[in-house]
Amino acid sequence: MDFVVLSSSRGTTFQAVIDAMKNGSLEARCLGLIADREERGCVAKARSAGVPVKIVDRVKGEEREAYDRRLNEAIGVLGLAPPTPGPSPTGGGGARSEGVLACLGWMFLFSPWFVKKWHKRILNVHPSLLPKYPGGHAVEDALKAGDRETGMSIHWIDEGVDTGEILVQKKCSIEKGDTVDSLKARIQDLEKIWYPWVLQDLETEKLKMENGK
């Protein structure tokens, strides 16, 4: 299975994906990274690992779908195509494609056009136990609520906000004295383990389909 990473972050979990490919625990192939700015930390990590990089700058005032169409073009240049009709090698919802889009700290919402085009092929990780605390302030919301535990959810992106089908959820405790930064770090420790695991699981399911198992 091939995948393209979308990131506008430092690339902490992306580095875990790179490491998993290097040590052989992740057999799927990363075709490249797309970021919105050259100075993002994920870009430096990709270049250091020899992963191709495409920068798709955001233009002030540009509509979401117009940006997503440019994003889709960049994905195609890297060699990944959207799903086409037929049985799904990753077990998801009546589409056939060799790969997925792996969102790792991608800070922008997708247009309905893009989500439909890449139906059940956009993988995301969210720092809460969905459906609890969707949106951009999940860690802060868990702390403010006084919760004793939180975690992370890896899910397909759909037309809603963090409402897509959940593939994996893992919990972590909220400790006395936790700050947003300390709790985020603990959640990211889970992401670094389980995001590569999910990618490998999708790769394994694809191989099963190809071998008729």
Q: Would you say how long the chain is, in residues?
A: 213
- Count of CB atoms situated within 10 Å of the CB of 144: 10
Catalytic residue (one of 119, 126, 137, 155): 126
- The DSSP bridge partners found for residue 4 are 32, 101
The two structure tokens encoding residue 125: 């990780």
- The DSSP bridge partners found for residue 102 are 5, 123
User: Do the strands 149-156 and 29-35 form a parallel or antiparallel pair, or are they unpaired?
Assistant: unpaired
**CA distances from residue 1 to 15, 179, 201, 209, 210 in whole angstroms, order as listed:** 19, 38, 10, 12, 11
Q: Is 137 a catalytic residue?
A: no
Cβ atoms 108, 36 nearer than 8 A? yes
User: Known catalytic residues?
Assistant: 126
